[in-house]
Structure 1
Amino acid sequence: MTVNVEKMTAEIDLMESAVYIVKDGRLTKVTAKQHGQDLIIWKNGQVLDIDRSERVRIEGQDVI
């Protein structure tokens, strides 16, 4: 990802799996996880938080 602050533009790699959030002129990249889900919390039309949870598959582990 390349950011040009003067022009307020960004160049991203379309071959990479990710979600990009723009808030107040700043770019945040949310990267992919192996398993789980991301929940985006909105307030007044802007992203407030991202709630990340992880899923663990049971495969006979003694401890998780």
Structure 2
Amino acid sequence: MRNRLKSNEGQNRRKKRTSDVEPVFGHIKSNRNFKRFTHKGIKKAELEFGLHALAHNLRKKVS
């Protein structure tokens, strides 16, 4: 795993992730006050986060 991360492809993927994905998680966590899941279980947590992501995308489209 470490070798894959240190390869050129791994470094390029990490750079892309920090510019594409991480700000979205930070925005949902801090600006929308999402601290923890309110439901138990993987399926329910996936659904809950999906709703947060949907709301984020709708807010982005509207503004």
TM superposition score normalised by structure 2: 0.21
Structure (1 or 2) with the larger CA radius of gyration: 1
TM superposition score normalised by structure 1: 0.21
